[in-house]
Structure 1
Amino acid sequence: MVSEQPEAVSLTVYRGEKYGGQPIDPNWPTGYALVTETRTLTIPAGESVIRFEGVAEGMFPESAIVTGLPNGVKEKNRDARLLSPLGLVDAYLKRQVTITRTERATGKTREFPAMITSAPGGAVILQTGDGYEALHCTGLPERMTFAEIPSNLSAKPTLSVITQSDRTVTVKVTLTYMAAGFDWEANYIAQVQDRAVDGKGKVDLFAWLTLANGGNQNFINANTMAIAGKPNREESNPQVKPTGGGLELKCWPNQRTHEVPYNFGYIPAPPPSPAPAPVAYMDEESDNIVVTAQRVRGEAMASFSPVAVVVAEQENLGDLKLYRIPEPVTVNAKGQKQVAMLVKPGAAFTHHYAASVQDYAMESQPMTLMLRGKNTTEKGLGLPMPQGQMMVFENSKYGPLLTGETSLKDRAVGEDVEIAVGTSVDVRMSVTPKSEKAYNQRWEIKITNARITPVNIEVEIPYELRNKSAAITKIDGVPTWKTTVAASDSATLSYTIKLERD
């Protein structure tokens, strides 16, 4: 018997590794998911095989648990060979097919047998009575016909189980399993409001919860959750990704070798689409464009953050954090779903320019503008902030403009939140060696401020220092020079590094 699709499904997505703050891999996401499906089955008396069609493409079959059967499960099998052009060709390797060709001049068709000898990279090599040739490379319209559909090919990823029942019975069965090919991340939008002369200001923070499904199965009206943190998970053997897909039929041109362009047959990938503006999104259920509300001040937009209608609810799961989408959503195959995750307007942040002497030399270089806040309720935050990509906007007479892109690491409640906005040509720093003795090196830092307002400065000096200046304090254990440089002015600091003895 066949169960074609679940009546209800729950999807819990766990993050994959993001090395260097990389975004989700759109081809095959590196995270995984816990999938729970509910299906109603009528099981006949005796032994029967139940085929659960439409399971996730990256299912870990050893993790599958089926509950609700009268006498449990006797045997499980994962059917990973999918019915598709590539799957059919793979199943018919070294087997006979029928080729039908049409003469262009007369319209007559001719059929003859051929054997598929290989299918490299989605191409098809045939052996006929005339020798070896590639499919669709004769210049004539042709098609390939298979005698039958192999019994071991399934139209959908399928889990089959063998069970036993004493009588015919209708039961509600729950299928739970782990599956690869999923991921999620947070995507932040930081809208910087007007800052004061002392560097204090407000930032409107908004975050999308972005879910990715890399398989070919839709999860319709799924109760969806995301887990932040890193559960202890033992490495398992790589899962066999289901076979399937289309054919890639290419032919060598009817020319001499030197006449063929070097890049023949190579179609460069299209440039990536620009990131969609957060003020509009395409409704997946229709072709309508939904534009979110904005707060307007004069002719310029006061905020670039969307107005959230549905926000994921954060809960604790042991030491992990769980984000529950409060209503069922559809996570489409090969697609992504975004739901509001964090909405925190007016969070308190300070502005300062930062640098490390290790990264600078005698020639002056721009310093990095930083935003620093405290993840507390008093400062306007007070929520766990999972790692993710961040876009920073500032107000201008033309509306909010992008001023920087960065990545944010996981930040727990109570921790500092630091955002690198970008470098400024107006605030520059140089580091110059002054003298060297047996066990000391003396250096000088010079900072110039070409802005019409004073700027706050923090410069890390990650060395063991001699005769440390009172202007140097320790931040997170690193000696740091903190000062304010007046408008159109400069500041200098001398420091001495203690050298190790041989």
Structure 2
Amino acid sequence: MRALLALVWIYAATPVAAQSIIVSDAPESVSLTVYRAQDRGDRPIDPNWPRGYALITETRKISIPAGESVIRFEGVAEGMFPESAIVTGLPQGVREKNRDARLLSPSGLVDAFLKREVTLLRTNRSTGVTREQKAIITAGPQGGVILQTAEGYQALRCTGLPERMQFGGVPQNLSAKPTLSVITQSNEATTFKLTLTYMASGFDWQANYVAHAKPGDDKAIGKNKIDLFAWLTLANGGNQSFQNANMMAIAGEPNRERRPEQARPVGGGLSLACWPQQRTHQVPFNPGFIVDIPPPPAPPTPVAMAAYADENIVVTGQRMARAEMAAPVAVMVADQEDLGDLKLYRVPEPVTVNAKGQKQVAMIVKPGAAFDRIYTVRVDEYGRDDGASMPMSILFRSSNRKEKGLGLPMPSGQVMLFEDSNYGPLLAGQSTLSNRAVGDDIEMVVGRSSDVRYAVTRMSETVEKQRFKVDITNARSEPVNVEVEIPFELRGKPKHIAKVDGIPTWKATIAANGEATLYYELELEKN
């Protein structure tokens, strides 16, 4: 019995080896590969919290002592998927991983000290004397902080005196940055480089096209040259910046199973509210929607106006007959590479992606691409046949081939089309471009024309057929190409109306300030 007690005493007296806490506050290098949000379609990036995701790879230099250590990786992405984190390079691997989602902040401190004692400091405004008082936080931080003191229950900063709380220390589970911690073992003290790889939400990217349309060199009807330029726009919705990151973007939709929304780190400022201490009739009326608008400034005095009249205004340069828009100059263009069935766009130089910000890098530079300008309409677009005049749509069409000046994968994105005028480049329209592979047709509808119009009129109807006419008018000073789609089965299958993608389509050239009329008949089903 005595030997057994001695053995128990010796075991209990043996100290447990303490864990060493090693903090890695930032990576030495980082790579950021961003994937588009699935099912976002033509909608823009969500500015509050982008719905895409990223694969992040960090390289960090770590020194650990012999024994067991807790390594804290600070500054990881806010939307990190902790189950995806892979740490390579540790001598004996990783025994345990923990995602620290509580951030050091005013609200985080109050939440961590609930039902615990703090020191309340209050300063007398007249004497400047500060009085210390012990208090226990009984409620908070949402909507206010309730303290229990020797004088009773009080709301923080509702006494009218300057006051603040003093905490005994920072809880170990609070971090100033989103943190991933791992537990590892080492037989000896060592310094090494390790790699941390993980996926994170809160990222997205898209292509933004700037197109500058100019008349074609051959002066053929409807032929245009377009200088096509595209930005790769990357969005970071988290509170972490990535300095000198190797940035890439993936075009396409890899197979990824949907997962529950990742919980973001909690923290932030305190939202304090106090009840008024007067009676209801003593509270002054203060509507929040009334704004005092200052009176407009007084007109300048004659003396001041005379002073300006004596000045000479000099404008350098000269006015040109037709102003040209300077095309964007691409100092750095993303390299397009194949990644299986996906496309990878790699920025050739390290860039900084700021927190809550966007980064733009040149993605596509294709000057002088050949496009056809066509005025189009589908006659059932409005369901009208009363002869009312309606504008036709302006369509720019090309083929994604090298002989057309293109011939490269084109990710989906918004297109802003500019055209030259005597007053400089002006916005002619905006369109959306879907994903286009090499060899695909490219069509951009950029608006409606007030000069090229159409009118559909139902001329007659019997039990077997309906007869229509379409009047096209061109008020422009040059000929235009028009296409009229008739998404119905035509009677008699007229030869002058060809089928394009299975839809009967009439194509014609309308002379300057001219007009044309199309007649067609629809076959009606017999009862």
Report the TM-score, using the length of structure 2 for normalisation. Answer: 0.83
- Match of 1:89, SS state, is helix
- Match of 1:343, SS state, is strand
CA distance in 2, matches of 1:144, 1:496: 84
Partner of 2:195: 174
Instruction: Letter of the 1:228 partner, please give it.
Output: A
CA distance in 2, matches of 1:153, 1:79: 8
Report the alpha carbon displacement of residue 90 of structure 1 after superposing the two structures with TM.
2.9
Over residues 393-449 of structure 1, what are the superposed CA-to-partner deviations in whole Å (9 max), with x where a residue is unaligned? 000112111111222111111111111221111111222333333353333222221
For 1:226, which of 249, 255, 275 is the aligned residue? Answer: 249
Partner of 1:338: 360
- CA change 1:159–1:468 in 2 (3 A) is same
Aligned pairs, how many?
470
CA distance in 2, matches of 1:498, 1:380: 43
Partner of 1:275: none
What is the identity percentage for the equivalent residue pairs of Structure 1 and Structure 2?
62
CA distance in 1, matches of 2:160, 2:220: 74
For 1:36, which of 57, 70, 78 is the aligned residue? Answer: 57
Asked if 1:126 is matched to 2:146, the reply is yes
CA distance in 2, matches of 1:245, 1:322: 37
CA distance in 2, matches of 1:299, 1:212: 41
Asked if 1:494 is matched to 2:515, the reply is no
Report the alpha carbon displacement of residue 226 of structure 1 after superposing the two structures with TM.
0.6
CA distance in 2, matches of 1:501, 1:19: 45
Partners of 2:368 and 2:405 within 8 A in 1: yes
Q: Give structure 2 stretches of 5+ with no counterpart.
A: 1-21, 292-317
CA distance in 2, matches of 1:499, 1:119: 71
Instruction: Letter of the 2:477 partner, please give it.
Output: I
**Superposed counterparts of 1:347-358, under 5 Å:** 347-358=369-380
Partners of 2:145 and 2:272 within 8 A in 1: no
CA distance in 1, matches of 2:464, 2:479: 37
Report the alpha carbon displacement of residue 75 of structure 1 after superposing the two structures with TM.
1.0
Report the alpha carbon displacement of residue 238 of structure 1 after superposing the two structures with TM.
1.8
Instruction: Letter of the 2:476 partner, please give it.
Output: R
For 1:62, which of 80, 83, 86 is the aligned residue? Answer: 83
Partner of 2:351: 329
Asked if 1:310 is matched to 2:336, the reply is no
CA distance in 1, matches of 2:156, 2:393: 58
Report the alpha carbon displacement of residue 197 of structure 1 after superposing the two structures with TM.
5.2
**Superposed counterparts of 1:7-406, under 5 Å:** 7-17=28-38, 19-112=40-133, 113=135, 115-120=137-142, 123-128=143-148, 135-195=156-216, 196=219, 198-249=221-272, 259-261=285-287, 263=289, 298=320, 300-360=322-382, 361=384, 362=386, 363-406=388-431
Which is higher, the Rg of structure 1 or of structure 2? 2
Partners of 2:415 and 2:431 within 8 A in 1: yes
Determine which structure has the larger strand proportion and give its number.
1
Give the aligned CA root-mean-square deviation in angstroms: 2.5
Report the alpha carbon displacement of residue 357 of structure 1 after superposing the two structures with TM.
1.6
Partners of 2:369 and 2:405 within 8 A in 1: yes
CA distance in 1, matches of 2:438, 2:479: 31
Partners of 1:187 and 1:390 within 8 A in 2: yes
Q: Give structure 1 stretches of 5+ with no counterpart.
A: 266-295
- Match of 2:262, SS state, is coil
Report the alpha carbon displacement of residue 200 of structure 1 after superposing the two structures with TM.
0.4
CA distance in 1, matches of 2:262, 2:525: 52
CA distance in 2, matches of 1:58, 1:264: 40
Asked if 1:477 is matched to 2:502, the reply is yes
Report the alpha carbon displacement of residue 299 of structure 1 after superposing the two structures with TM.
6.2
CA distance in 2, matches of 1:365, 1:223: 51
- Match of 2:111, SS state, is helix
CA distance in 2, matches of 1:455, 1:21: 30
Over residues 4-42 of structure 1, what are the superposed CA-to-partner deviations in whole Å (9 max), with x where a residue is unaligned? 111111111111136451221121111111111111212
Partners of 2:375 and 2:481 within 8 A in 1: yes
Instruction: Letter of the 1:381 partner, please give it.
Output: L
User: Quick check: 207-216 or 483-492, which moved more?
Assistant: 483-492
- Match of 2:44, SS state, is coil
CA distance in 2, matches of 1:80, 1:415: 47
- CA change 1:91–1:499 in 2 (3 A) is farther
For 2:435, which of 395, 405, 410 is the aligned residue? Answer: 410
- CA change 1:222–1:102 in 2 (3 A) is same
- CA change 1:40–1:429 in 2 (3 A) is same
Over residues 126-154 of structure 1, what are the superposed CA-to-partner deviations in whole Å (9 max), with x where a residue is unaligned? 24567776544554433233332222111
User: Quick check: 301-310 or 6-15, which moved more?
Assistant: 301-310
CA distance in 2, matches of 1:79, 1:264: 45
CA distance in 1, matches of 2:196, 2:403: 45
Report the alpha carbon displacement of residue 86 of structure 1 after superposing the two structures with TM.
2.6
Report the alpha carbon displacement of residue 471 of structure 1 after superposing the two structures with TM.
3.0
- Match of 2:366, SS state, is strand
